[in-house]
Structure 1
Amino acid sequence: MALSFTVPQRILHWLMAALILFNLIFSDAMETAGRLMFRGQTLTPEQVSAANIHAYVGIGVLVLALIRLCLRFMQGVPPEPIQEPPFLRVVARISHWAFYALFFAMPLAGIGAWYFGNTTAAFVHSGPMKLLMWVLIVAHIGGALVHQFYWKTDVLKRMTSG
């Protein structure tokens, strides 16, 4: 079993983090375009272009998630640190797989909303899934900081410098 994540795994982690945060923070253009689209109003070319950036970034996340999942199965992941209590190891595993579920479900729901006009997909994408993604991100960062400063493990190093 690997002691650290591989370089491709680390690159994908940080690239996906940047793309996901970009789409979470800069979602106004897509939200405006979606509102207009679902009201039957015509979008300007600028509004379509701005919304497409959000869509293309989301599709990028979907593609990278597929590659990342394949690497996870082929290359494995480092073991959980022994300092982490068993219950929190289970919580961490569930959280990581919830991330993977969202890496696929959010872009697919976004595709359903933007390209197929599905209002349910739009609601789920911009409501519960978005909220869950934020909760997982905050918990993930919090967990990494607890590992670094409380349990003094190498978790951050395994995802940065190896």
Structure 2
Amino acid sequence: MAPLSYSIPQRIVHWLTVLLVFFNLLLPGQIERVADLLGGGKVPTPEEWSSANLHIYSGFAILALTVIRLILRAVQGAPAAPADEPAIFKLIAKAVHGLIYLLLFTMPLSGIAKFYFHVDVAGFVHGGPMKLLLWIMLVAHIGAALVHKFYWKTDVMDRMTKGV
């Protein structure tokens, strides 16, 4: 039987992930510059290193939180979609959620591949197509939550905010 709401740990991990993802998307810092400097045999300044490290550590935290989210979801479950939600939207929601989870797992791994193992294609995919796809999925996810709240008037958004 599916729970009626997300647990407190699920909600905490969700919102921590949200903060870190938006931090890394909006403020990538000097990560590309540091990678370029290191690739060219130059030494980054301490300020550049600090800025890059914030992005790197946030990425590691996102990866860890995503693993925790998946474990919590497997153990505690997730609320079912509203019964009256059209089947096509249920399918789209599953696809968007699945793709978000996949991106939250693979983006840090591609960043690791670029920064630590100098796999240039991983850096391109990380900062290009994957980043764009993540933005699209986040806009779709937020848009769907708002449609549920204000158009369909369901409790979908409340499940992840108030726990109702």
Tell me if TM exceeds 0.5: yes
User: Residue in 2 aligned with 1:62?
Assistant: 63
SS at match of 1:22: helix
State the AA in 2 paired with 1:120.
V
TM-score of the two chains, using structure 2 as the length reference: 0.94
Structure 2 unmatched runs, 5+: none
% of aligned pairs identical?
Answer: 50
CA contact (8 A) 1:83 1:153 kept: no
Q: RMSD of the alignment, in Å? A: 1.2
Displacement of 1:40: 4.1
Structure 1 unmatched runs, 5+: none
Spell out structure 1 runs of 4+ moving beyond 6 A: none
Partner deviation per Cα, 1:104-123 (whole Å, 9 max, x = no partner)? 10000001111111111110
CA contact (8 A) 1:4 1:78 kept: yes
Partner deviation per Cα, 1:46-80 (whole Å, 9 max, x = no partner)? 21221011000000000011011000011000000
User: Residue in 2 aligned with 1:155?
Assistant: 156
Aligned length: 162
Residues of 2 paired with 1:37 and 1:68: CA distance? Answer: 34
Displacement of 1:134: 0.5
User: Residue in 2 aligned with 1:127?
Assistant: 128
CA contact (8 A) 2:29 2:51 kept: no
Residues of 1 paired with 2:102 and 2:18: CA distance? Answer: 15
Residues of 1 paired with 2:92 and 2:114: CA distance? Answer: 31
